[in-house]
A and B are shown apart, each in its own frame.
Chain A
């Protein structure tokens, strides 16, 4: 059975397993100093898998990530295979805080969960979660609730 930490009132909660969180940390550290990226697969409303995807940016992987249409399709396929849904994507901010950049905002999709991990000097740090406002004016920070039972 999982233990669940409730989110503060008024903040959108995103449930994620400790295992998926650990996978994000490991991926962030492994790809440092480049940005890592991947898909978040949810089953029954809980993110149970962080599925690594290739960073195909041509703009310098230390500060940019891109998941192209092939990567997106692979993410959808992985979600179907796992019997879940594509909840969103994660990426790392090497040597920068885990807050969305203007570039993140410009490129964001609605209704997806964006998880950002800060990796400082190769050491994984804070993990945060964000949702694009429907009018694209900014991101709202959500709260991760950790499930340890998976």
Chain B
């Protein structure tokens, strides 16, 4: 039976420019065989070396792809028209490390629970093996994220951090163990991750992320996992991701609450669409000041790892366009819709930020080297030192020492003879401050909250001085027997 076969433009030079030919055959396979017999040059373009149809060659019977019929065994009825329809595919050259590598037998065994998931499978696992994720920070969020990325077989994990392990990190930063206290976080991270999965390459960068190094570093990675603990670096990570078109698996934590999203995907919002401006410095306390439930970053960091893995797989539904809010105290998850802001200075329609800026300045962070006093600092006559306080106590002169920390902090350690009025209660309890005391000194943990208290007292006509460095300086320089927190 003769059937009409439609020839696409690129193959017509082999059929004498005919756009259709009539061929005999009862099945699609027979027709194609007749076609490549008559026009032998067609064969190498339609069939791969293994004799199978190239996968970008689509064959249709009328309107149906033969892949959904009986493939080449599909029988033809009178009047059926066979069409050859190209798919056109290609792509950028992939660097050697990014060519999806084969899995070794040991890897097949290690990742077998991934491999039997149809959504991952061997192809997905190879993508993870070729994948490169940069963790910004090896702290609360970076720890669980890096551990799960390494366990999952993400081929290259980069970590940038410049801190040493402190005993107060161990409550949540599970990359580091008790014997690691005092060591570089990168060292303990590398050892822990390599022990978990020696197949994974760990790249470490002992540096602070800056506007000078961010673009060069991020360019080497597929996904950036933001585990930073301050606004300046968070905006830096965001802007660098947008400028390079790299997805940002974002997470942040405070006390009992966490957030996660995916920023800077194509067409999706960025961190600046959500928060165009940083909060005034000092308004949002850090985890060191406000505390954090240790297991909270475990939840948020593993969400960031999950999003990174889906981004590498190029599958699943990510948090792009959604902000996930988690309250560990109430055990509630909520979700907010996020939209790209067309007015966003970085990812909007008419971006004004086209290169990285000074993020410390943007966030109002004082430069430690600046000669001028940072904005908001108290004049020197409203400050005092722990040494002066020690001398004052020894002199026997009367003074009033006000502690504006929270009661639980007061329980941990206190300077003798201090009176506790938490900063938040101070406006309502001003009458408890003896305005006629010859000397009033205010302290908190590090001196930030007490500076606010000094200003507040001053507005009410009470002159007080701020203890520079707070109780931490007192412990360091006067009474090392007190516990530090």
Contact = CB atoms under 8 A, between A and B. Distances in A.
Interface of A: 31-35, 37, 57-69, 71-73, 76, 85-86, 89, 91, 93-97, 99-104, 107-112, 114, 121-122, 134-136
Contacts of B41: 134
A121 B88 contact: no
B58 interface: yes
Given A94-B245, A121-B244, A108 B90 contact: yes
Contacts of A111: 9-13
Contact of A110 (B11, B65, B88, B93): B11
27 contacts: A31-B266, A35-B92, A63-B91, A63-B94, A66-B88, A67-B87, A68-B87, A69-B65, A69-B85, A69-B87, A71-B87, A71-B88, A72-B8, A73-B85, A76-B8, A93-B93, A95-B219, A96-B93, A99-B93, A101-B90, A102-B93, A103-B91, A103-B94, A109-B88, A111-B11, A134-B41, A135-B44
Nearest to B57: A109
Residue among B13, B65, B88, B127 facing the most chain A CB atoms (10 A cut-off): B88
Contacts of B85: 69, 72-73
B89 A57 contact: yes
A26 to B, nearest CB: 14
A111 B222 CA distance: 35
B110 interface: no
Given A109-B45, A121-B244, A96 B89 contact: no
Contacts of B414: none
B364 interface: no
Contacts of B8: 72, 76
A69 B83 CA distance: 11
Contact of A76 (B9, B56, B58): B9
A82 B9 CA distance: 16
A114 B13 CA distance: 17
Contacts of A32: 245
Contacts of B86: 69, 72, 109
B131 to A, nearest CB: 10
B314 interface: yes
A148 to B, nearest CB: 27
B349 to A, nearest CB: 11
Residue among B91, B244, B245 facing the most chain A CB atoms (10 A cut-off): B91
Contact of B88 (A31, A63, A89, A97): A89
A119 B60 CA distance: 35
Contacts of A64: 89-91
Interface in B239-291: 243-246, 266
Interface of B: 8-13, 41, 44-45, 56, 58, 60, 65, 85-94, 98, 127, 219, 222, 243-246, 266, 314-315
Contacts of B13: 110-111
A76 B88 CA distance: 13
A74 to B, nearest CB: 11
Nearest to B242: A122
Contacts of A109: 10-11, 45, 56, 86, 88
Contacts of A102: 93
A137 to B, nearest CB: 11
Given A65-B90, A89-B88, A110-B13, A33 B314 contact: no
A16 to B, nearest CB: 18
Given A33-B244, A95-B219, A111-B13, A101 B88 contact: no
Given A33-B266, A69-B60, A134-B41, A107 B244 contact: no
B56 A107 contact: yes
Nearest to B60: A69
Contacts of A112: 9-10, 88
Contacts of B89: 57, 64-67, 103, 107
Contacts of B244: 33, 121
A107 B90 contact: yes
A112 B56 CA distance: 15
B90 A100 contact: yes
Nearest to B246: A33
A85 B10 CA distance: 11
B15 to A, nearest CB: 11
A94 B85 CA distance: 27
Contacts of A135: 44
